[in-house]
Amino acid sequence: MLICILGFVKAMEDHKDEFILILAGYHKEMEIFLQTNPGLHSRFPIHLNFPDYNKQELLEIAEQLCVKRQYQLTSQAKIALLTLLNPPENNSDDNFGNARTVRNIIEKSIRRQAVRLISKHSTTREELMVIEPGDLVGVGPCGNV
């Protein structure tokens, strides 16, 4: 890592008028990275911080992910999802409120829905497209499927 950073710093100095370098990451991890070399922090004078999505925005992301895959959440499933999006007390995951969390929940719920439907003798087109609250059980950020 240190060799990479030193090469990074040299390239930035040698070609400072020829390119723009943008670094992206979570705040805490970026601060740690910028402190790995004394000259890094001053070479990145502009810092943009983006807040986590709120629960309503995360729900909208979930709905968009479902529509893209031709699924839909029932109104009860939306309520269950909003409950899952409450960060647990003493949450050690600093990156809880992000779209990746929602994507993982939706992907796991689709797998649970498939497992639920496979046991049925016949399935309607609507059933194949609907995510129910039970499909979200156990698929929270720490849940396993």
Q: Which CATH number covers residue 70?
A: 1.10.8.60
Is-contact 102 62, C-beta < 8 A?
A: yes
Query: 70 and 131: one domain?
Result: yes
In a domain, 48, yes or no: no
Query: 28 and 60: one domain?
Result: no
In a domain, 143, yes or no: no
Q: pTM (2 decimals)?
A: 0.71
Distance CA 121, CA 119 (A): 7
Query: 38 and 60: one domain?
Result: no
- Letter for the amino acid at 39? G
Domain of 72, in residue numbers: 55-136
Average pLDDT of 31-50?
Answer: 84
Backbone torsions φ then ψ of 141, nearest 5 degrees: -55, -30
What digits encode the pLDDT tens for the residues 78-136? 999 998 887 655 455 555 557 888 999 999 999 999 999 998 889 999 999 999 999 99
Backbone torsions φ then ψ of 131, nearest 5 degrees: -100, 120
Q: At what angle do helices 99-118 and 55-68 cross, to 10 degrees?
A: 50
